[in-house]
Structure formats: C-alpha cells, structure tokens
C-alpha cells in the first residue's frame, strides 16, 4: 500500500513571521501536503524527529557572489550546510562583457552545478554598454539589477547619469534597482590624500570610508529612484547614519527595501585591526554604535532582509593591506550567526528572524508563497534548527574555498541539523545528501508587497 506522505517532519515548532506552533509537516513530492497537530507515522515513508527543535522555511540568501574562491557549485554546497535552500546570484558582467551573455552563462552553470535552487540579479559594471540590455534581461527571468556607486578606481562605478538611465529602464519594465551605496569619488579622494600622507591604510580604513558617505549615497540613490519612480533595494547597509535617509523615504511612502548582513550585526572595525586583510570588506566594518543602530533598524522594521554578501577571497593576514581585495566568506555562517546574535541575545524573536531570512526575501523577489513559508502547497523547503546545539565555528569545518572565516572561534548556540529542498534532504547532520544538477532556476517578479 502506498504511503500517504513520503516524509513526515514530526513534533517540531513551526515558525512563521506571525507565530510559532507545534505541528507535523506531511510532505509529498516537492510540496508540503499537510500541516496538522499530529500525523500518523505509519502513513509516511520516513519520519524526521524534530521534537524540541524549530522548523524554519528554507533560508533565502539574496546576496552572493559566485565569482571568487567559490563557483556556483561550491557556493551552493557551502550555503546548503548553513540552511540556505535558494540563492540569488549576482551575475557579474565585468567591463567588456555582455549582460545577457553573463545571465545565460550563470543560468546554465546553475542548472548543471548548483546544489540549491537559485535566481539571478544582473550586476552592472560597464553601464554605458550594459544598461541598454536591461529590458531584454526581463525575458530571461531577471528583474533586479545592481549598480555600484563606488569603486571608481576599479572602473566599476556607475555615475549618476547612467544610474538614472538604468532606473528609468528598470521602472519602465517593472523591475527593481539595487545599489552598493558609498560615495565613490569622495572616497577615492580621501584615500588618495591618506596615501600621500603615507598613513597606515588598515588603521584609517573606516575613516577613508566614513558613514557620511554611505548616507550621502543612500540619499542620492533614494532621490533618483523617487524621481524615476523606480523601486529601490539598498544592499549591505553598514552604518547607523545610512539608516536615516531610508527611514525618511519610508515615512514618505517610497517603494524601498534595505538589507544588512550578519558581519555588520556582529563585528566591528576591531576585528579588522586584528586580522587586517581578512576583514577588509566593502562597505567596511564600523563601530559598536553602528552595530547597535542596525539592530534597532531591524527591530523597528527599517531593515527588511539579512543576506550574506558572500565574497570569498584568497587572502592571508600577512598580505599587504592596501592591495588585498574586498570581501569575505559568509554564506554558510549566516543563519547561525544571525540567530545567535539576534535571538539568543533577545534583540529579536525567532519569528522576526524568519521574516528577515525567508519570508521578506521571498516576497520582495516574487517567490512567495511558493518559497519563504511553511504552508500547504508551498515548496517543501525546510530547515530543522536545533536551538540548544552548542558548537564553535571553525574554518576547518567550513565548506567554502576561502582559506578563513571571520567567525573562526565563535561559540554559538543553535545550528541547522536537517535541510530539505523541495521534499528531498540536502544536508543531514552535516553531510551532503544531494548531487548537483537537480536545482531549479526561479524567475523573479517585482510587485509591491507588505513585508513583516
């Protein structure tokens, strides 16, 4: 006799953005087929015991870069170990590259090599030649596009003319503009002046990228988006001052989203002074007052999402600081660190965590309610999270190709112990159970939604 469910996840505490309830999940095929107080085990091919554990919807990481020490396959392998079941990759169209060709290449790579489901953002580095391709990208299922307002020396910066042009086209086609908001030319001047003075670039790293310049760029992006009537997403917010223009725009009713990352919520410039190039990221790790201001912005709803900004670089502490690249690995540790730093400290509840890591990302990018929630008919993307699992993050247990983690030695309480994607176990007790090649690409869709 055929079993009614392929899997039952038994006795867990199911978490949504609005509450927690103890219930069983019945899973058939790729979908959640039933949620009831108790489902008979004899009706299932397999029973997963989740007693005493939280059951989260699969984590959605909307900010990752599979272009350095981790390719799409490696990044998804590492992220899955941390509870992530869907990644949105930035398709890096470097200067001289075509945006559409890059998107197609990422899609093909993901379908062949990813362990997790995925979607794609366009990442524009050569605005003059790539902005005209934006309308055609929508036909590829890509509706969100990131521009850099900094890194002028690297020739990655999108100036205001091209930023306005991009936002105009994005708005006309029903998409979402995304920005790395730092005032690039001012930053470059301050850095050049510091170099002429022969100052230690590690010691003055934050001072050459002050919070005023993040706030200025946020305000400028918000202003251009308002004029062009373009929805805007501010990535990796790092400062308390940067929160202010977002809060004001929200109060005025602007269509605007804000993201921060676990590293900005848990680390400060102090770790950069200890580890040098390893903690060189952009925007920079700042001060304790910024860390606390970001938590307050999460608490009051100004910040909508937490994402990893996973950018794994091959760096050593002994590398010359100024020449070292920006970026650090963070996808695998995202859920654990956000939970430990947020829920275990009492700064947020577990329901708010699920909003930040699952529900809101799914809603913003048009994946909800197929993704981002535990309900009948949704994809069976599930994370069983043990809140009393005591462990220490160590580089040797991480799965990224990067040679370090900024969280090495951090003692945490809480860890994902079972990760399921569309009804199949991906990671169980730290072991990968899936082969690449079964991932799905999800087109994104931008609609104005009410977030938690």
Q: In angstroms, what CA-CA distances link 64 with 25, 379, 413?
A: 30, 22, 25
Residue-wise burial string across 86-108, b where 16 or more C-beta atoms lie within 10 A, e elsewhere: bbbbbbbbeeebebbebbeebbe
CATH of the domain at 381: 2.30.40.10
> Is the pLDDT confidence value at 352 over 60?
yes
Identify whether 446 is part of a domain.
Answer: no
> Residue 2: what pLDDT?
58
Per the structure, how many domains does the chain have?
2
**What pLDDT digit, counting tens, does each position of 47-57 carry?**
999 999 999 99
The pLDDT score that the predictor gives to residue 293 is 98
Write the CB contacts of 411 (distance below 8 Å, at least 6 apart in sequence). 390, 391, 392
Note whether 320 and 391 are same-domain residues: no
Q: Got the DSSP string for 248-308? A: HHHHTT--EEEEE-HHHHH--HHHHHHHGGGG--SSPP--HHHHHHHHHHHHTTS--EE--
Tell the residue number behind the tokens 């569309």, with chain if given.
422
Q: In the predicted model, what is the mean pLDDT of residues 107-124?
A: 98
Q: Are residues 68 and 171 in the same domain?
A: yes
User: Who contacts 10 (Cβ-Cβ below 8 Å, separation ≥6)?
Assistant: 24, 39, 41, 47, 48, 49, 50, 51
Q: For residue 369, is it within any domain?
A: no
Among 364, 390, 414, the domain boundary falls at 364
Instruction: Flag the least confident range among 2-16, 72-86, 129-143.
Output: 2-16
Strands (E) in 73-143, as ranges, are 84-93, 117-124
- Is 450 within the bounds of a domain? no
CATH number for the domain spanning 89: value is 3.20.20.140
Asked if residue 247 and residue 174 are part of one domain, the reply reads yes
DSSP-based three-state secondary structure for 215: helix
Judged against a pLDDT cut of 90, whether residue 367 lies above it is answered with yes
Q: What is the pLDDT of residue 294?
A: 98
Q: Both 118 and 9 in a single domain?
A: no
Domain extent, residue 329, equals 58-364
Q: Which residue has the higher pLDDT, 452 or 89?
A: 89
Cα separation, 17 vs 350, in Å, equals: 8
In this structure, the answer to whether residues 117 and 30 fall within a common structural domain is no
pLDDT value of position 42: 83
Beta strands in 82-126 (DSSP E): 84-93, 117-124
361: pLDDT strictly greater than 70: yes
Q: Would 242 be classed as within a structural domain?
A: yes
d(CA 325, CA 104): 27
CB 264 within 8 A of CB 237: yes
* Domain match, 33 and 138 both: no
Asked if residue 337 belongs to a domain, the reply is yes
Residue pair 328/278 in contact by the 8 Å Cβ criterion: yes
Mutual angle of helices 184-196 and 211-228, in 10-degree steps: 160
pLDDT at 332: 98
* Final residue of a structural domain among 364, 385, 411: 364
- The 10s digit of each residue's pLDDT in 155-172 is 999 999 999 999 999 999
Average pLDDT over the chain, rounded to whole?
Answer: 97
Provide the pLDDT confidence category of residue 146 given band limits of 50, 70 and 90: very high
Query: pLDDT tens digits for 188-217?
Result: 999 999 999 999 999 999 999 999 999 999
Q: What local confidence, expressed as pLDDT, does residue 1 receive?
A: 45
- In order, the DSSP letters of 373-425 are S-STTSB--EEEEEEEEEEE--GGG--SSSS--TTTT-EEEEEEEEEEETTEE
pLDDT of residue 285: 98
- Find out whether the peptide bond into 369 is cis, omega within 30 degrees of 0: yes
Report the sign of the C-alpha dihedral through residues 68, 279, 90, 266, in that order. positive
């Amino acid at each position: 006799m055929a079993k009614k469910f392929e899997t039952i996840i038994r006795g867990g505490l199911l978490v949504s953005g609005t509450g927690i309830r103890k219930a069983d999940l019945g899973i058939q095929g790729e979908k959640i087929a039933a949620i009831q107080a108790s489902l008979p085990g004899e009706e299932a091919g397999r029973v997963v015991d989740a007693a005493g554990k939280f059951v989260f919807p699969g984590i959605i990481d909307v900010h990752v870069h599979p272009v350095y020490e981790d390719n799409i396959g490696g990044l998804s392998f590492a992220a899955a170990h941390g509870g992530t079941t869907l990644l949105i990759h930035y398709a890096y169209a470097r200067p001289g590259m075509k945006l559409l060709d890059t998107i197609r290449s990422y899609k093909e790579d993901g379908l062949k090599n990813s362990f997790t489901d995925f979607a794609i953002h366009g990442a524009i580095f050569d605005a003059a030649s790539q902005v005209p391709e934006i309308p055609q990208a929508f036909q590829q299922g890509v509706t969100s596009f990131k521009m850099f307002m900094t890194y002028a020396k690297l020739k990655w910066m999108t100036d205001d003319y091209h930023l306005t042009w991009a936002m105009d086209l994005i708005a006309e086609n029903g998409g979402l503009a995304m920005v790395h908001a730092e005032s690039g030319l001012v930053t470059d001047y301050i850095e050049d002046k510091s170099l002429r003075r022969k100052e230690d670039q590690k010691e003055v790293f934050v001072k050459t990228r002050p919070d005023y310049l993040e706030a200025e760029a946020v305000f400028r992006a918000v202003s251009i988006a308002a004029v062009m009537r373009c929805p805007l997403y501010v990535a990796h917010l790092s400062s308390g001052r940067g929160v202010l223009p977002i809060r004001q725009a929200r109060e005025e009713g602007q269509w605007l989203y804000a993201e921060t990352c676990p590293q900005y919520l848990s680390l400060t410039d102090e770790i950069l002074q200890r580890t040098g190039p390893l903690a060189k990221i952009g925007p920079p790790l700042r001060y304790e007052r910024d860390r606390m201001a970001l938590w307050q912005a999460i608490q009051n709803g100004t910040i909508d999402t937490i994402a990893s900004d996973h950018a794994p670089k091959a760096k050593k502490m002994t590398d010359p600081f100024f020449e070292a690249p920006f970026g650090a690995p963070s996808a695998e540790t995202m859920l654990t660190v956000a939970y430990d730093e947020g829920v275990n400290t009492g700064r947020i509840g577990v329901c708010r965590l699920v909003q930040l890591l699952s529900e809101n990302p799914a809603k913003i990018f048009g994946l909800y309610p197929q993704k981002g929630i535990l309900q009948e008919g949704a994809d069976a993307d599930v994370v069983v999270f043990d809140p009393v699992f005591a462990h220490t993050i160590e580089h040797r247990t991480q799965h990224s190709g990067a040679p370090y983690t900024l969280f090495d030695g951090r003692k945490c309480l809480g860890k994902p112990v079972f990760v399921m994607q569309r009804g199949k176990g991906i990671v169980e007790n730290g072991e990968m159970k899936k082969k690449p090649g079964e991932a799905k690409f999800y087109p994104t869709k931008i609609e104005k939604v009410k977030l938690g």
